[in-house]
Amino acid sequence: MLRFTLNGKTVETDLAPDTPLLWAVRDGFKLKGSKFGCGAGLCGACTMHVDGVAQKTCVLPLAAVAGRAVTTIEGVTATGAAEALQAAWVAQSVSQCGYCQSGQIMAASALLAQNPNPTEADVEAAMAGNICRCGCYPRIKSAVLAAAATLAPDAVVQGTPFKDAMAREASA
Ligand code: FES
Ligand code: FES
């Protein structure tokens, strides 16, 4: 029996220890917000947090999360960063088909938890492992910066006030 914390609650599973965490969460615990994309750790659709760090869970065995805290898109909505991201996502109409979006939010929320004042380069680096087949990258970056500005309104991007950086993003 393997035990870990899932969205703040202790859970147990008798699935094989080499079962990918993504399948355990989707099929075992019926949380379907995290998506299967490539299954090879390349696209980020399956991103969850493990002890607050964004992880590609299609290639992460259950054994690796024993005793650790796993958060999915269903659980991350309780945090302030996720609320700011959700508002920015809606305001900027980020999503197109939506398939990659839970992974994008998980990567972005892990970034803002670790670095509440990211530069554009920080955002690009943190989001580089999350592919969007609809090509929403400019809106995703803009929304992450907007959420950061909401959380830290006096922050700057590479020496530029956020409102100016946002205006530059909007006109790009
Ligand atoms: S489905 Fe996990 S990285 Fe693509
Ligand atoms: S919105 Fe369609 S894959 Fe990203």
128 contacts 68 by C-beta, under 8 angstroms = no
Query: Over pLDDT 90: what percentage of the chain?
Result: 81
Of ligand 2's listed atoms, the one at least distance from the Cα of 98 is: 1
Q: Which residues line ligand 2 (CB under 6 A)?
A: 95-101, 132-134, 136
Which residue's CA lies nearest to atom 3 of ligand 1? 41
Rg over alpha carbons for the chain, rounded to the nearest Å, is: 16
Are residues 54 and 110 in contact, defined by beta-carbon separation less than 8 angstroms? yes
Task: Report the atom number in ligand 2 closest to the C-alpha of 104.
Answer: 4
What domains can you pick out in the chain, each with its CATH number? 2-75 (3.10.20.30), 77-171 (1.10.150.120)
| pLDDT in the model for residue 28 | 95
pLDDT above 50 (res 24): yes
Residue 161: what are its φ and ψ, rounded to 5°?
-55, 145
What confidence tens digit (pLDDT) does each residue in 143-170 have? 999 999 988 765 544 444 444 544 555 5
**Where do we find the tokens 């008798």?**
14
Cα–Cα–Cα angle for 80, 86, 90, nearest 5°? 150
Higher pLDDT, 76 or 4: 4
pLDDT in tens, 40-90: 999 999 999 999 999 999 999 999 999 999 999 999 876 678 889 999 999
The predicted structure's pLDDT at residue 157: 47
DSSP element (H, E) containing 47 = strand 47-50
Q: Are strands 2-6 and 69-71 parallel, antiparallel or unpaired?
A: parallel
Residue 108 has pLDDT above 90, yes or no: yes
Q: pTM (2 decimals)? A: 0.88
Nearest atom, ligand 1, residue 42 CA: 3
